[in-house]
Amino acid sequence: MNAATPRRGSDLARQIVVLSAVSFMLIAAVIGAGAFGNSAVQNQQGGALDTDGSYLAPAGPAFSIWSVIYLGLIAYAIWQALPRQRANPRQRALGWLIALTMVLNGSWLVAARLGPLFSTVVVIVLLLAALGWTFRIAVLTRDPRGGVVDAVLIDGVTGLHLGWVTLATVANVAAWLTTIVPPTWADAAGAIGVAVLVVVGVIGLAIAWRSSWRLAPALALAWGLSWLAVERFTGQPLSTAIGVAAIIVAAVILLPPLLVSGLRLLRPAVD
């Protein structure tokens, strides 16, 4: 298929931009992790981005999903740079968009270190919008003949990225609001948190529905929600109501894609 597609001058440029974008993202991630004597991201902004920064912040282990996402993006950047991928129509449709999500990913870390807390909200909302659009294009251009590598490195990685950033956006906005709202709002934090999680559940189901019940976004969202529950049950600030709501919402988001994926796997055997 690729051999019959004429190459364009922009194809090589796209491949180089993707490699440059992943390099920028990784440099920002290493610095954000506290390398070179810098303080880690959770210690920036007066601790507002730490696990105790708001009622909607997940526990520390939740952030290990970044390792999976980063490895997937690195693998994608290397794979898309292969000569046989240069004129691939799907790479043309998605390469620039995935590069944009990488740049915004790294830019969030820059904003967390150098800008005000509100700047992190702006960047992560832009990242969420870019990921939503990218994942939508990935679903629309999906070719079953593309193989496992195509499905994992484009649909899978982008889906995980989208699912996690959906919850991260909620946590980021909550952290910012916590620094500006009156302290008396803490009395209603449980009710507000539960209401927000209900909205997250609706968004998660909408992503699943619009993507023909793809599993990756739901997995990432359920992962983050589960660790949010752990933090509310065992960390600070405590909130049993938010913890219970997070578990219920995680199950509601995850079960439909799991069932659909299971039926898709069984269908060939039945046929």
Rounded to an integer, the average pLDDT of 122-139 is 97
Averaged pLDDT of the chain: 91
Between 103 and 113, the higher pLDDT residue: 103
What is the model's pLDDT at position 2?
A: 45
| Confidence grade of residue 269 (pLDDT, cut at 50, 70, 90) | low
What is the pTM assigned to this prediction? 0.92
DSSP H or E stretch at residue 192: helix 189-210
Length of the chain: 271
pLDDT tier for residue 4 given thresholds of 50, 70 and 90: low
Please compute, for residue 12, the number of CA atoms within 13 A of its CA located in the half-sphere on the CB side: 3
Enter the DSSP assignment of 115: S
Contact 175, 57 (CB under 8 A): yes
pLDDT 10s digits, 143-155: 877 789 999 999 9
Q: Which two tokens stand for residue 12?
A: 């090589």
Look at 32 and 127; give whichever has higher pLDDT. Answer: 127
Does residue 130 contact residue 100 with C-beta atoms inside 8 Å?
Answer: yes
User: Which pLDDT score, from 0 to 100, does residue 262 have?
Assistant: 87
Q: What is the dihedral of CA 164, 165, 170, 175, to 10 degrees?
A: 100
152-192 pLDDT, tens digit each: 999 999 999 999 999 999 999 999 999 898 888 888 999 99
Angle between helix 89-114 and helix 157-180 axes, rounded to 10 deg: 30
In the chain the first and final C-alpha atoms are separated, in Å, by: 28
Q: Retrieve residue 242's tokens.
A: 């938010």
CB 69 within 8 A of CB 162: no
